[in-house]
C-alpha cells in the first residue's frame, strides 16, 4: 500500500492537537485526528509524533503509578500484622519484635519447630528455654520466653501453632501428628534405657574383671597344671544326637532338716546325689551310643552362698541354712565341678554353658573364669564365652537358650520368649528354626510347648527343701534330668535320675 504524504499544513494541525491535549491517550488522539482532519493517522504515528515533539504519552506517565498501586495492594494482602509480630503469607515468613533482643525472622517451618521443641506435649518433656535458644540461634534464653509469650504458647500448650490452624490445619490432623510423635518418643526412650542398661552392665563387668578376675586369670595361666582325663571307649551311635544335662541348683553347702531336726541335705548328701545322678544318666545316654555333644550348664546356684558372710549375691542371709564355711569349701566346690566335667567329657565332647544364679553370681563369675583358662587347650571341653543373662547354643537345626531367669516369672518367660529370640538369636549367630529354653531357679521340673517351634523346660534340682521353702510351700522332688536331641528331628527323649 502506497504511503500517504501529508501537507505541512496538516502536520501543523496534528501538532497543535497533540500540544492542546497532552492528557489524551494515543488511541483517543488518533481517533480525534481522523475525525477532524478526515485522514488516516494510526496510534503508532501519534506516538512517534509525540516522541519527536518531546511529549510523553499518558500511558507511560500513569504506568509506574498503577504498578506501584498494584504492588502496594498485593503487599497489603500478603502481610498479616499481629500484636508483636508480622506474618508474610506469600513467603511464609514470621517476623517477631523481641524488643531489647531485636527482631527474630524465621520461616513458618522454623516457627513450628520452635513451638514443638518447647512444649511438653509433643515428644514428652520439651526443651528448656536455654536449649531452644541454642538450637534456634536466639540471642538469650529470655528472648525465647518473650517469643513464646508473643505467639501465645506455654509449656502446656499443644504443639501446633496458631498460624498452622489459620493455614488450614484440622484438629484431626494435629491429633494424628501428636500420637505419632509420642510413639517416636516411646521408641527413643526404650532404646536409651536399653543402651544405658548395657553400658551399666558392661561397666560393672569391667570393674569386676579388672579388680578381681584379672589377677586370678594371670595366676592360673602361670601355675595351673595340665589335666587330660581318659576317654571311655563306647559304642558309636547310629543316629547323630546331642544331650543337654539338666543339672542345676545343686546348692552345695545348703543345710536342710526334717520336722524332727534330722539332717536331710548337706554337703555329703549333695555330693552323693550328684554322683548317683551322673552315673545313672551316663548309663541311660550310652545305651543310645556316643552322642556328638553334651551341653552342661555350670554355676547356676550350684553353690548355696556367695561370700564369707554366708549370704546370697543380694545379701539374703543364709546363716541358718548353711553347712560349712564358704572360704574353706570353695576348693571342694571347684573340685566337685571339675570332677563332673571330666566325668562327662570322657563320654563325649562337652560344651560348658556359664549361667550365674542369684545365690552364687559372683562366685560363678570366678568359677567360669577359672574354667575358661583350665580348658582353654582341651580338645574335649569347650567353654562358651558369654556374660549375658541368657546364653545361646546350637545343635543341628535346634537352638538352645540357657539362663537362671531369677528375675522373670514362668509366665513372663513364656509370654516374652519369641520376643527375645527374635531380638537376640541372630546376633548370637544362631540360625536354628526350633528353640528350646532351659530355665533354672524354680527347682521343679516342667515343660510347655509355646508354639512357633519354641519349647520351655524348667530344670529340676537335686537340692533338698529348707525351712523357708517348706514354710512357703515350695516343695519339689529332688532329681536331675537330661534331654536327648536328634540332629534332624529335635527332642526325642528325657531321662531322670
| Distance (Å, whole) CA 361 – CA 441 | 12
- Residue 403 is given by DSSP the state E
- Range 364-368 average pLDDT: 91
DSSP 91: T
Query: Which range has highest mean pLDDT (45-54, 172-181, 372-381)?
Result: 372-381
DSSP of 470-487, one letter per residue?
HHTT----B--EEEEEET
Rounded Cα distance, 252 and 462, in Å: 10
Q: What domains are there in the chain, each with its CATH number?
A: 8-76 (no CATH), 82-169 (no CATH), 224-496 (3.60.21)
Closest CA to 143 of 178, 89, 104, 86: 104
Question: Could you give the maximum distance between any two Cα atoms of the chain, in Å?
Answer: 151
Tens of pLDDT, residue by residue over 251-276, are 999 998 888 888 989 999 999 999 99
Place of cell 548317683: 276
Per-residue confidence band for 1, with pLDDT thresholds at 50, 70 and 90: very low
Higher pLDDT, 5 or 341: 341
pLDDT of residue 125: 80
Task: Select the more confidently predicted residue: 242 or 42.
Answer: 242
Q: What are phi and psi of 461, to 5 degrees?
A: -135, 145
pTM exceeding the 0.75 threshold for the entire prediction: no
Amino acid at each position: 500500500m502506497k504511503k500517504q504524504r501529508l501537507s505541512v499544513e496538516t502536520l501543523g494541525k496534528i501538532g497543535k492537537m497533540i500540544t492542546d491535549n497532552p492528557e489524551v491517550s494515543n488511541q483517543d488522539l488518533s481517533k480525534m485526528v481522523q475525525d477532524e482532519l478526515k485522514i488516516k493517522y494510526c496510534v503508532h504515528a501519534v506516538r512517534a509524533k509525540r516522541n519527536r515533539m518531546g511529549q510523553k504519552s499518558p500511558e507511560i506517565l500513569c504506568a509506574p503509578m498503577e504498578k506501584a498501586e498494584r504492588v502496594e495492594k498485593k503487599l497489603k494482602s500478603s502481610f498479616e500484622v499481629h500484636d508483636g509480630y508480622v506474618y508474610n503469607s506469600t513467603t511464609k515468613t514470621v517476623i517477631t519484635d523481641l524488643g531489647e533482643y531485636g527482631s527474630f525472622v524465621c520461616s513458618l517451618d522454623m516457627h513450628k519447630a520452635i513451638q514443638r521443641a518447647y512444649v511438653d506435649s509433643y515428644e514428652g518433656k520439651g526443651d528448656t528455654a536455654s536449649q531452644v535458644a541454642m538450637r534456634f540461634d536466639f540471642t538469650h534464653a529470655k528472648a525465647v520466653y518473650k517469643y513464646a509469650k508473643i505467639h501465645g504458647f506455654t509449656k502446656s500448650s499443644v504443639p501446633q501453632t496458631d498460624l498452622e490452624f489459620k493455614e488450614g490445619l484440622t484438629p484431626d490432623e494435629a491429633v494424628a501428628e501428636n500420637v505419632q510423635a509420642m510413639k517416636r518418643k516411646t521408641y527413643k526412650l526404650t532404646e536409651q534405657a536399653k543402651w544405658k542398661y548395657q553400658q551399666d552392665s558392661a561397666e560393672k563387668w569391667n570393674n569386676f574383671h579388672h579388680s578381681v578376675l584379672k589377677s586370678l586369670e594371670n595366676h592360673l595361666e602361670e601355675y595351673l597344671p595340665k589335666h587330660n582325663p581318659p576317654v571311655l571307649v563306647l559304642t558309636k551311635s547310629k543316629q547323630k544326637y546331642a544331650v543337654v544335662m539338666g543339672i542345676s541348683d545343686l546348692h552345695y553347702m545348703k543345710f536342710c532338716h526334717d520336722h524332727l531336726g534330722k539332717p536331710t541335705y548337706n554337703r555329703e548328701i549333695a555330693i552323693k546325689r550328684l554322683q548317683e545322678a551322673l552315673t545313672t544318666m551316663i548309663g541311660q545316654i550310652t545305651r543310645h551310643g556316643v552322642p556328638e555333644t553334651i551341653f552342661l550348664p555350670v554355676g547356676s546356684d550350684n553353690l548355696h552362698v556367695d561370700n564369707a558372710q554366708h549370704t546370697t549375691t543380694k545379701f539374703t542371709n543364709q546363716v541358718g541354712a548353711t553347712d560349712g564355711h564358704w572360704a574353706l569349701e570353695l576348693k571342694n566346690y571347684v573340685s566337685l565341678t571339675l570332677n563332673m566335667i571330666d566325668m562327662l567329657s570322657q563320654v563325649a565332647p562337652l560344651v560348658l554353658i556359664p549361667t550365674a544364679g542369684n545365690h552364687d553370681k559372683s562366685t560363678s563369675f570366678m568359677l567360669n573364669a577359672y574354667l575358661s583358662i583350665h580348658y582353654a587347650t582341651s580338645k574335649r571341653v569347650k567353654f562358651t564365652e558369654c556374660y549375658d543373662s541368657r546364653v545361646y547354643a546350637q545343635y543341628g537345626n535346634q537352638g538352645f537358650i540357657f539362663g537362671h531367669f531369677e528375675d522373670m516369672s514362668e509366665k513372663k518367660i513364656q509370654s516374652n520368649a519369641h520376643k527375645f529370640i527374635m531380638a537376640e538369636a541372630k546376633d548370637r549367630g544362631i540360625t536354628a528354626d526350633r528353640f528350646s529354653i532351659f530355665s533354672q531357679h524354680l527347682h521343679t521340673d516342667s515343660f510347655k510347648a509355646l508354639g512357633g517351634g519354641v519349647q520351655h523346660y524348667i530344670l529340676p534340682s537335686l537340692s533338698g527343701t529348707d525351712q523357708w521353702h517348706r514354710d512357703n510351700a515350695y516343695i519339689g522332688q529332688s532329681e536331675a534330668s537330661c534331654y536327648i536331641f536328634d540332629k534332624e528331628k529335635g527332642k526325642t527323649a528325657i531321662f531322670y535320675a
